Amino acid sequence: MQCLITGSAGFIGFHVARRLLRDGHQVVGIDGMTPYYDVALKERRHAELAKFAGFRAYRVMLEDAEALQRVAGRQAFDLVIHLAAQAGVRYSVENPGAYIAANIVGSFNLLEWCRQTPPRHLLIASTSSVYGANLDFPFAETDRADHPLTLYAASKKSVEAIAHSYSHLWHLPTTVFRFFTAYGPWGRPDMALFKFVQRILAGDPIDIYNHGNMERDFTYIDDLVEAIVRLCDRVPAVDRPASASGGDSLSPAAPYRIVNIGGGNPVALLSFIAEIETALGRQARRNMMDMQPGDVRKTEASTELLDALIGFRPSTPVGVGVREFVRWYRDYYRV
């Protein structure tokens, strides 16, 4: 297949691109290489992808519609996987404008391009953060998600709504993923696992919010990629009946579906930290802190729809995933 991946130098984009390349597909990668975190890490990811003959990379900001048109042109892609975004829940409190530009304007430009050159299937990354103040667990795709707690979540929910309108108006088959706390090798430096490992190895204390009274539905990167690859073949269509016993989120008005990608097994934050300590062979110095604005105490994915659609749900134990990250971190940073 011919695949276009935005955010190909990002954590998830890199892993998805590498999997598709290994499977023999052609991948065009677009990434703005923004300095939100270490650009050298992004460049290393692209360098790994460049080892595949089927990979081409372009440095483009999606906010620049003309540049996107120049790069993507009129080429028809089988798959467009939109993973580029300004990430980070906490950073959105400090720099909200970046989320409007990257997440909303950038996504709009990509949708406009897809309208002119429709792929067989458009797949868009969203986040469990859109569930916001929802306290009904597990979070199901058919639950209301009208109370986002951060601009990051609001921007991603906005993209979902805009994508639905494009799907309806232009008959654009679209699947939106809601990711639940992805982690693993090549992860971002702003993620909790990365920061915990970095600080523990340096002998510095780690900040633990809400005094450790937190739970997250951690999703190992290999499981997340497997789910994405399988969903590529599950192209939504309005003339198909709902096919999932868990309550299909297929739109009644568009070839559009929302799917959680999470394992449905929340892990206590303190248990997660204990796994890191075991993998490192060191104890963390703990700085207990109050809850941060916009944060939530717990996330938990309903996996019924995902399982019904592709016969798979993330299941890698946190201990295994943490060990793999620590192995990569020590090798990459030579520590």
What residue segments make up the domains of the chain, in order of their start? 2-183+219-261, 192-216+265-301+317-333
Check residue 89 and give its pLDDT: 77
The mean pLDDT value for 179-201 works out to 97
Phi (first) and psi of residue 172, to 5 degrees: -100, 105
pLDDT at 140 over 50: yes
192-216+265-301+317-333: CATH architecture = Alpha-Beta Complex (3.90)
At 245, the pLDDT band (50, 70, 90 cuts) reads: very low
- DSSP-assigned letters across all residues of 79-132: EEEE------TTHHHH-HHHHIIIIIIHHHHHHHHHHHS--SEEEEEEEGGGGT
Sequence-distant (6+) residues with CB within 8 A of 285 are 200, 203, 204, 205, 206
Check residue 91 and give its pLDDT: 83
Sequence-distant (6+) residues with CB within 8 A of 91 are 36, 98, 152, 190
At 240, the pLDDT band (50, 70, 90 cuts) reads: low
The span from the first CA to the last CA of the chain, in angstroms, equals: 39
Check residue 141 and give its pLDDT: 97
Check residue 163 and give its pLDDT: 98
At 317, the pLDDT band (50, 70, 90 cuts) reads: very high
Please state the pTM of the whole predicted model: 0.96
Check residue 76 and give its pLDDT: 87
pLDDT at 200 over 50: yes
Q: How many CB atoms lie within 10 A of CB 258?
A: 25
Beta bridge pairs of residue 2: 26
What percent of the chain has pLDDT above 90?
91
**Cα–Cα distance for residue pair 72/4, rounded to 1 Å:** 8
Beta bridge pairs of residue 81: 5, 123
Residue type, 229: V
**Cα–Cα distance for residue pair 268/270, rounded to 1 Å:** 5
The mean pLDDT value for 150-174 works out to 97
Beta bridge pairs of residue 206: 286
**Cα–Cα distance for residue pair 172/2, rounded to 1 Å:** 17
Of the candidates 17, 30, 21, the residue with the CA atom closest to the CA atom of residue 58: 30
Tokens of 35: 């300095």
Catalytic residue among 152, 166, 209, 256: 152
Q: What is the mean pLDDT of the chain?
A: 95
183 is known as an active-site residue: no
Check residue 171 and give its pLDDT: 96
**Cα–Cα distance for residue pair 215/267, rounded to 1 Å:** 5
Phi (first) and psi of residue 146, to 5 degrees: -105, 5
The mean pLDDT value for 73-88 works out to 92
| pLDDT tens digits, 30-67 | 999 999 999 999 999 999 999 999 999 999 999 999 99
Check residue 244 and give its pLDDT: 46
2-183+219-261: CATH architecture = 3-Layer(aba) Sandwich (3.40)
At 247, the pLDDT band (50, 70, 90 cuts) reads: confident
- In the block, tokens 């429709």 appear at 118
Domains 2-183+219-261 and 192-216+265-301+317-333 share a fold: no
**Cα–Cα distance for residue pair 283/281, rounded to 1 Å:** 7
